[in-house]
Amino acid sequence: MTEATNPPDEVIAALLRRRPRVALVGASDKPNRPSFGVMRFLLEHGFDVVPVNPLLAGGVIQGQMVVAGLAEAGALDMVDVFRRSEDTGPVVEEAWQLGAQAVWLQLGVVNAAAAIAARAAGALMIQDRCPAIEWPRLALSDSP
């Protein structure tokens, strides 16, 4: 799957400007992990982030209560996935079944079958990208 299968920049920018409520799957409490840094970035830019990690459920990461699964995260707009490509299919399916408007697979994470299914269900699917990189690349601002 190539970059061309992602939505146009304008669509990604509009999604990020909305600051959707995000479930961050694969959240880590280790500051050296990419998911920790992305979660911090999203929180600093006004996103409501729910960390999802069954091994850390009930704990707190960056002031946010960790839940075990997407169903426990409450109403979601976007699911940001930090998992291996081959493990993303069930997460993507659950995300759109729970009503997520967008599913975001992090850098290096691509799942063509999951993308086709998500798009068929009407969900926005972004792969092999990172919101913490896209925000400055798209010259987005914190001011309204």
The confidence score (pLDDT) of residue 118 equals: 85
CA–CA distance, 37 with 123 (Å, rounded to integer): 25
Closest-CA residue to 96 (of 117, 74, 73): 117
pTM exceeds 0.85? yes
Lowest-confidence range among 58-67, 70-79, 89-98, 114-123?
A: 114-123
Fold of 3-136: Rossmann fold (3.40.50)
C-alpha pair distances (Å), 111 with each of 28, 61, 81, 89, 93: 22, 28, 11, 7, 12
Query: Over 90: is that where the pLDDT of 143 sits?
Result: no
- 27-34 mean pLDDT: 97
The confidence score (pLDDT) of residue 64 equals: 98
Please state whether beta strands 124-126 and 102-105 pair in parallel, antiparallel, or not at all (unpaired).
Answer: parallel
